[in-house]
Amino acid sequence: MPELTLNTGTRMPALGFGVYQVPANETERVVTSALEAGYRHLDTAAAYENEAAVGRAIAASGIPRGELFVTTKLWVQDAGESTARDAFGRSLDRLGLDYLDLYLIHQPYGDYYGSWRAMQSLHGEGLARAIGTSNFYPDRLVDLIDHNETAPAVNQIEAHPFFQRGADLGVMRERGVQMTAWGPLGQGRADLFGHPVLAGIAEAHGKTVAQVSLRWLLQRGIAVIPKTVNPERMRENLSVFDFDLTDDQLKAIASLDTGASTAFDHHDPAGVTALGTTRFDT
């Protein structure tokens, strides 16, 4: 598995396994299947309410801790310097781990400056090998970098062929932040799998549209965390390092960008209020 070196020196597998919207009562089985398929990078969040199940799968796997890269995230209700540290401890307990490889601010809402101060301390203490952000647009990402000692190692954002985030990627590269794409297959909310351009490229390589979409991101230096509960799809999503897209194919995919999210508009005031006031058992 190719790895990416973060600005902390930590190495992160370029392709991971996400558990967003996997029910807690199915998560242990699903993560066990993912680990058996070969995944070593797992991505969860307090707001997914399945950290404990991820932890059980890790414990039962027998895989040495040092071979795994585990990410979780801080939800908005726990933003703030003291509350973030407490929330980190609860996540660590649920996962059954002594440290995290990556801890992210899940959304750019609430007192995320206080959260970042706490996370810088956790990083300094070795409890979080790397810290970062999720869903930060370039303006907030740059502001956070400019006014703090530690720059995020990762910014995890929605990205797929219909929402390509080229400007975001440029800013992150300039600032030494690794981009990770969540929803790299459009989360089933757009006609990605049936698109003729993607289907034609997939046929040319003897691959699936999902594999082409993941390869397109990886080939541009973007980490990906696809989710599936199907073991066959898990293995399929790992088989994306044995081909390269041509320049013409990359240009063809670039033409598909709509510039619009297929999930959530972080600039919509009503949506921001709804998301920022959502509470979970974190």
Instruction: List, by residue number, the catalytic residues.
Output: 48
Angle at 230 between CA 193 and CA 10, to 5 degrees: 90
Contact between residue 153 and residue 130 where contact means Cβ atoms under 8 Å apart: yes
The H-or-E segment that residue 28 falls in is helix 24-37
The H-or-E segment that residue 122 falls in is helix 112-124
For CA atoms 188, 108, 117, 52, give the dihedral sign: negative
Rounded Cα distance, 247 and 219, in Å? 11
The H-or-E segment that residue 93 falls in is helix 81-95
Contact between residue 180 and residue 224 where contact means Cβ atoms under 8 Å apart: yes
What are the counts of helices (DSSP H) followed by strands (DSSP E) for the chain? 11, 10
Contact between residue 185 and residue 234 where contact means Cβ atoms under 8 Å apart: no
What is the number of other CB atoms lying within 10 angstroms of the CB of residue 251?
Answer: 10
Q: How many residues does the chain have?
A: 282
Q: Where are the alpha helices (DSSP H) in 206-278?
A: 209-219, 231-238, 247-254, 269-276
Rounded Cα distance, 177 and 5, in Å? 10
Type of residue found at 118:
A
What does DSSP assign to residue 66? G
